[in-house]
Each structure stands twice: as structure tokens, then as C-alpha cells.
């Protein structure tokens, strides 16, 4: 009883802290005169080539990428903080200092160093601008050549990660306290909504693949399942709490796959390692078998990583491309068709969000199960 | 004049292969479920895992195509 109050209090405090954190880097409208002139200059620059085709690829890739500001609605952005680990130590400032510039034209001076932002990456600024007014050196493919500080910023994806942590903690602390309060009684509220899903993970994912030792890995499997599922769903929400592409970020999926990889390697028993380094085949075959098996240890988590990343990214690109059709054909009459298709794909993506969480979890369980299987 | 990356053709070819593969998996699972409806849930799980492996190949192609364009 007492515990549940503590949990409630902690969750509320977490939410308050997080809200304050967001409020601190509050929403700003581009009311600055400097920004207007900058944008005007940009518009006048692009007008002569205004007949250029609308580039779906660029638009979609920009929208699924990580970002230092979070688009709210219309002209409103949440400017997130920038933390840089430079050669002179840690430097921090608000990304609002870049004045909505993403083409390395605005230089921010902090801690005796000068930074520019180009395509959501932060570089050390060059001393003089190039012919386009950009403070970076460009190669022939328009990639910046300048050195980069280690970027530890709280970006859109990091914020989404924190939000999803708050949501998952709130949901599961509530469910856990429900089990304490109503021990041996029927579940109620959120608890009865989560219970079948938790049982699904236990009965359909853990038990068939891990055998009688499944209980050791239940915490990991449940965490991975709900983390991926909640974040997939958050990614499908087009407005503020969602909208980021967290599980479609290869760094995030890499960490998840690494966790599975480490669990597999450290829980592998002697039969598992014998199967890899001394398989039951003629000795001559070892020349072929052992390298293949060693590569197999690494390809499994890499496939896990790419599967989740590519599925979610492809889904986001698909929805964005369908919406973009309106701008490609430059006609309002396309709108109903493209919106109808986008809604249809959105419904499929809801299914994919669940299936990908399920696939990642069941394959993790499968790989761990292969490593801990007893010899018969 | 057609312009664009040849990676798109590769992605299309991979999509054909994955389409054939997933079609076969889905069809066989349907057969299995029709013969033994009580095993439906087990067949579905196995079907999804097999489909995920096939799909991964197509998604590798998508990633390669994206990198080719980038």
C-alpha cells in the first residue's frame, strides 16, 4: 500500500521534472528580424531556380533524421539544448542560437570556439566563409570537410527516448503496484490491459524458445518488447509527443541488438561453443565450418539491427512520400487519394509496429535459446 | 531520358524476390491452417519468423538503395 504511493509520487515528480526541462527550452517563434532577412535572402536566392522539381527523397530523409529542434506546428519550434564535448571541454548552448540556420551560415561563439550547424550536424566553423556564405569547407559532393566536436546534445530522438521512459515507467509502476494491491484478485484498469500482453510474451515468446530457464530472461525480453513497441507507436504519432523516428535510428537498434549479442555470448554454454569451434563434422570441413560459424555469431545481431531500422524507416518514408505526392503533382485533387493511401499505410504501420517488436523479441529469445540449449 | 540511381533497379529486383518468398510462406501457412485449424497459432508464429527472415533481405536492398542515393 505504502509502496504504491511512493511509486505514484516518483512518477509524478519525474513528469514534473521533465515538463520543466522542456519548458526551460521553451517554444520560440521566429520573430527575430535577423531570421526574416535571412529567410528572405534565401528565398530570393532560390527563386530563379524555382521551377526545380520537388525532391521527395530529400524531404523524406530530412523528416526521418534526428534534429536539434522539434517542430511543433506552423512556425513554432522547440529549440533543444546543444552539448558539445570539444577539445576545450564541455560547451553548452541552446540550438536557438543558430537562428533556424541549417546551412552553416550562422556562427555561434561559445567558450572561445566557433560552431556552425549544417544538415543537423555541428562543425567547427572555418575562419572565413566560402562563396555561398557558409563557414565550412565543402567537397565536390557538398559534404562538409570541417572537424566536428563530439555532439552529446539532447536532440529530438533523445527527448523521445526520455518521454518513452516516462511513459513506460508510469505504465509499469502502475501495473506493478496493481499486483501488490490486489494480490490474488482479478486485475483492474490498466493492469487488465497489460496482463494479456505480458502473458503473450511469456507464453508465446519466452517459453517455447528458452525452455525451463525462461524466467531468467523474462525481464530482458519484456523490456525490449515494450520499449520497441511503445517507441514504434510514438513514432507513428505525427504531432508533438511523437514524430521522432527513434526505432528507425540505426544507433538505437544497434544498442538493442548489442544487448542481445552480449546476452547470447555470455550465456552460451559449452555445447554452444563446441558447435562453433569443434563441430561434429570431418576435420577437413572445419576449414569451412568454423569461419562460417564465427561469422554467424555476428550476422545474427546485425540482421536484428538492420531489420528493425529498415522496417520503421521504410514505413516513415512511405507515409511521407504518399503525402508528398500532393506537392509533386502540385494539385489539390491528388490530396484525397494520397491522404486515403497514407491512412491505409498508417493502419498497416500500426500492425508493423507490433510485429516488429514481436519479431525482435522472439528472435532474441531464439538466439539466446540456441546458446543455452542443453545437449541431447 | 531517364535519370536516377541504378540502385533503384536493384531494390526492385530484391522486392520481386522477397515478394515471391513471402507469398510462398503465406500460401503454405494457409494450406497448413486449412488442414489443421487447431494448430493455427503455432503456424502463424512460425510463418511470421520465416517472413521476417525473407523480409530482411528486401530491407537490406532498401538500405543499399538509400546509401546508393545518398
Residue A91 falls inside a structural domain: yes
Q: Are residues A188 and A135 in the same domain?
A: no
Domain stop point among A155, A173, A207: A155
Residues of chain A neighbouring B56 (CB-CB closer than 8 A) = 303, 306-307, 310
For chain A, which residues lie within 8 Å of any Cβ of chain B, measuring from their own Cβ?
57, 61, 204, 208, 303, 306-307, 309-311, 314, 355, 358-359, 362-363, 366
Residue A16 falls inside a structural domain: no
Question: For residue A60, what is the nearest residue in chain B, using CA coordinates?
Answer: B66
pLDDT digits (tens, 9 = 90+) for A300-320: 999 999 899 988 988 898 888
Q: Are residues A112 and A193 in the same domain?
A: no
Domain stop point among A122, A155, A188: A155
Across the beta sheet with A150-151, the strand order is A89-94, A81-86, A150-151
Q: Are residues A315 and A347 in the same domain?
A: yes
Q: What is the ipTM of this complex?
A: 0.76
In chain A, the percentage of residues whose pLDDT exceeds 90 is: 34
Residue A187 falls inside a structural domain: yes
pLDDT digits (tens, 9 = 90+) for A157-211: 999 999 999 999 999 999 999 989 888 888 888 889 999 999 999 998 999 889 8
Could you tell me if B44 lies within 8 Å of chain A, comparing CB atoms?
Answer: no
The residue that leads in pLDDT, A122 or A100, is A122
Q: Are residues A219 and A132 in the same domain?
A: no
**Kind and range of the H or E element at A81?**
strand A81-86
Residue A130: strand, helix, or coil: coil
Look at B62 and A358 and tell me if their CB atoms are within 8 Å.
Answer: no
The CA distances from residue A65 to A156, A243, A266, in Å, are 9, 11, 34
Residue A19 falls inside a structural domain: no
Look at A307 and B59 and tell me if their CB atoms are within 8 Å.
Answer: yes
Domain count within chain A:
2
Q: Are residues A137 and A163 in the same domain?
A: no
Position A19 confidence tier, pLDDT thresholds 50, 70, 90: low
Residue A7 falls inside a structural domain: no
Cα within 13 Å of Cα(A235), Cβ side? 33
The residue that leads in pLDDT, A375 or B16, is B16
Q: Are residues A150 and A163 in the same domain?
A: no
Q: Are residues A144 and A220 in the same domain?
A: no
Q: Are residues A164 and A137 in the same domain?
A: no
Domain stop point among A120, A155, A190: A155
C-alpha span between A319 and A344 (Å, rounded): 9
Residue A135 has pLDDT above 80, yes or no: yes
Predicted local confidence at residue B58, as pLDDT: 82
pLDDT digits (tens, 9 = 90+) for A231-282: 999 999 888 777 788 999 999 999 999 999 999 999 999 999 998 898 888 9
Q: Are residues A58 and A122 in the same domain?
A: yes
Predicted local confidence at residue A182, as pLDDT: 86
Residue A44 has pLDDT above 70, yes or no: no
Residue B63 has pLDDT above 80, yes or no: no
Q: CATH homologous superfamily for B8-69?
A: F1F0 ATP synthase subunit C (1.20.20.10)
Question: For residue A208, what is the nearest residue in chain B, using CA coordinates?
Answer: B42
The full set of domain ranges for chain B reads: 8-69
Residue A74: alpha-carbon gap to chain centroid: 24
User: Residue A146 is part of which domain span?
Assistant: 25-62+70-155
Please count the residue pairs, one from chain A and one from chain B, whose beta carbons lie less than 8 angstroms apart: 36
Q: Which of A184, A193, A185, A188 is nearest to A226 (CA)?
A: A193
Amino acid at each position: 500500500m505504502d509502496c504504491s504511493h511512493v511509486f505514484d509520487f516518483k512518477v509524478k515528480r519525474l513528469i514534473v521534472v521533465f515538463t520543466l526541462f522542456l519548458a526551460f527550452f521553451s517554444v520560440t517563434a521566429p520573430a527575430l528580424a535577423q531570421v526574416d532577412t535571412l529567410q528572405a535572402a534565401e528565398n530570393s536566392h532560390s527563386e530563379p531556380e524555382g521551377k526545380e522539381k520537388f525532391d521527395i527523397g530529400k524531404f523524406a530523409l530530412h523528416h526521418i533524421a534526428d534534429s536539434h529542434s522539434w517542430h511543433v506546428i506552423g512556425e513554432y519550434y522547440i529549440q533543444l539544448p546543444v552539448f558539445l564535448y570539444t577539445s576545450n571541454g564541455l560547451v553548452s548552448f541552446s540550438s536557438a542560437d543558430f537562428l533556424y540556420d541549417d546551412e552553416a551560415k550562422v556562427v555561434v561563439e561559445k567558450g572561445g570556439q566557433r560552431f556552425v550547424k549544417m544538415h543537423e550536424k555541428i562543425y567547427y566553423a572555418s575562419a572565413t566563409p566560402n562563396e555561398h556564405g557558409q563557414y565550412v569547407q565543402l567537397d565536390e559532393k557538398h559534404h562538409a570537410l570541417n572537424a566536428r566536436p563530439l555532439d552529446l546534445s539532447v536532440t529530438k530522438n533523445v527527448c523521445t527516448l526520455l518521454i518513452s521512459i516516462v511513459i513506460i515507467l508510469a505504465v509499469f509502476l502502475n501495473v506493478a503496484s496493481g499486483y501488490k494491491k490486489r494480490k490474488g484478485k482479478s486485475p483492474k484498469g490498466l493492469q487488465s490491459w497489460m496482463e494479456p500482453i505480458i502473458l503473450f510474451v511469456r507464453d508465446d515468446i519466452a517459453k517455447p524458445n528458452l525452455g525451463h530457464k525462461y524466467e531468467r530472461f523474462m525481464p530482458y525480453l519484456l523490456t525490449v518488447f515494450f520499449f520497441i513497441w511503445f517507441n514504434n507507436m510514438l513514432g507513428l504519432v505525427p504531432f508533438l509527443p511523437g514524430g521522432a523516428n527513434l526505432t528507425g535510428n540505426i544507433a538505437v537498434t544497434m544498442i538493442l541488438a548489442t544487448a542481445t549479442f552480449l546476452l547470447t555470448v555470455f550465456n552460451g554454454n559449452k555445447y554452444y561453443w563446441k558447435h562453433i569451434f569443434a563441430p561434429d563434422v570431418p576435420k577437413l570441413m572445419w576449414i569451412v565450418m568454423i569461419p562460417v560459424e564465427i561469422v554467424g555469431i555476428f550476422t545474427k545481431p546485425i540482421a536484428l539491427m538492420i531489420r528493425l531500422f529498415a522496417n520503421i524507416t521504410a514505413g516513415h518514408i512511405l507515409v511521407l512520400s504518399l503525402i508528398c505526392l500532393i506537392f509533386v503533382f502540385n494539385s489539390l485533387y491528388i490530396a484525397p487519394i494520397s491522404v486515403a493511401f497514407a491512412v491505409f499505410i498508417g493502419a498497416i504501420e500500426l500492425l508493423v509496429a507490433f510485429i516488429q517488436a514481436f519479431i525482435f523479441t522472439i528472435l532474441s529469445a531464439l538466439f539466446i535459446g540456441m546458446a543455452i540449449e542443453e545437449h541431447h | 531520358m531517364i535519370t536516377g540511381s541504378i540502385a533503384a533497379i536493384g531494390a526492385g529486383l530484391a522486392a520481386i524476390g522477397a515478394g515471391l518468398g513471402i507469398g510462398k510462406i503465406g500460401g503454405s501457412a494457409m494450406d497448413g491452417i486449412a488442414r489443421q485449424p487447431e494448430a493455427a497459432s503455432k503456424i502463424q508464429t512460425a510463418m511470421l519468423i520465416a517472413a521476417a527472415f525473407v523480409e530482411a533481405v528486401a530491407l537490406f536492398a532498401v538500405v543499399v538503395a538509400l546509401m546508393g542515393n545518398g
